[in-house]
Amino acid sequence: MQTATHRSAATPGPAFVSLAAETRTAVDTATAAFHLSRKPQTLRGWACHEDGPIRPMRLHGRLAWRTADLRALLGVS
């Protein structure tokens, strides 16, 4: 008789660097949402309705959030 083996190792999520240490000019929606403590869908809604506190760039059909805008919004230098 065989027993089932269950793996309980949690899959690690993406690793985000601090906004102060971010070197990219713009970040993806998941990264911006992490720094703003919002869900990615909230940021997508802001982009669609153009009613959020910051607006994204659109690059090849994808959203990119300016790091400078995130820093200004959060007061990070």
The answer to whether position 60 is within a domain reads yes
Phi-psi region of 24 (alpha: psi -120 to 50; beta: other; left: phi over 0): beta
Q: Which residue has the higher pLDDT, 49 or 5?
A: 49
The label of the residue with tokens 């997508």 reads: 44
- Segment 36-62 shows an average pLDDT of 97
Q: Where are the alpha helices (DSSP H) in 1-77?
A: 29-36, 40-49, 67-74
Domain extent at residue 66: 24-74
Total domains present in the chain: 1
pTM score, two decimals? 0.80
With respect to residue 4, please indicate whether it lies within any of the assigned structural domains: no
Is residue 46 included in any domain, yes or no? yes
Q: Is the pLDDT of residue 33 over 60?
A: yes
